[in-house]
Structure 1
């Protein structure tokens, strides 16, 4: 091949296209705006759900710690783990968001004769009073969190006129069975006591 042929071929070939940066930046900006819009819609939906649930009374407060106004009650059981949320009882996708119940967080649970103290760093602490407890069971899912069968401790309790399911997962899932037994025994004892009166 002669040098003239090389030059003729080189002249005939198209040069590589230059990247259209303005177009790419436009697409990226559009995508970011779309993501921001979807996030805004989700946030509005969360606020709307909270306003629909505004009829729920404030959460019962955790009893005072030692040195406070009330003496500490002896713990029956305690557990470290995660709080995964609350739903309307029996409707595992109907998330409750009012009063911070929709916020997932670490949790320290303590069962006393007063009920279950739920202490959550970075979120509202609350008490599930003993008289409000209805049942406890092992389940696999609650409002956007699905685990293996029996991987979730679900506590059903009455809050105002509403029955709630609250989902917890211990750091050591083997602890769940003891909690189910203790809570169901506590519920049976309080029901029997109420009938005896």
Structure 2
């Protein structure tokens, strides 16, 4: 199944190290950082799980719930989390989905046969409170994710939703944003009373910080 930006993230039920989960009900009115990793007790995955746990406060401040997945069992997750906490000096609390039958990995197109027939690649889905997929990223098994970028794109999406803006290359919180061409000057005057800079008729920048 191929999922696109704007699609409703498919619902599912499965086990986690904390017990059963029903995805849409669990997500509630929060954003979700849903990410897969190839296998428990592997080095890159251990650092990624640890980093997600270390950033628990940063995710919570953005109303984001992390949700992991691998094609292992809940029992294996429980054992592995002890290693994650010990080696990464953290306390992992977010749920990790058990997917030994690959049903969720296949539902979300996380199995790439040129990488592995049984292990998930490093997929990322950012899902909004309406359960819509807002961003996807896929990393090969050998490359760990950049969590500063994951937080940055969440900030960009949430800022875009709040102010009806777009964000330029390398945007970070506090920097100027772009007024989309679909918003004409008369409407922009109401939305952005602080004013804007016109670099080209199609390129207007403002600051909403």
Which TM-score bucket, shorter chain as reference?
under 0.3
Greater RCO (CA < 8 Å, at least 6 residues apart) = 2
Task: Please identify the structure whose Cα radius of gyration is greater.
Answer: 1
TM-score, with length taken from structure 1: 0.27
Please state which structure has a larger fraction of its residues in helix.
1
Please state which structure has a larger fraction of its residues in strand.
1
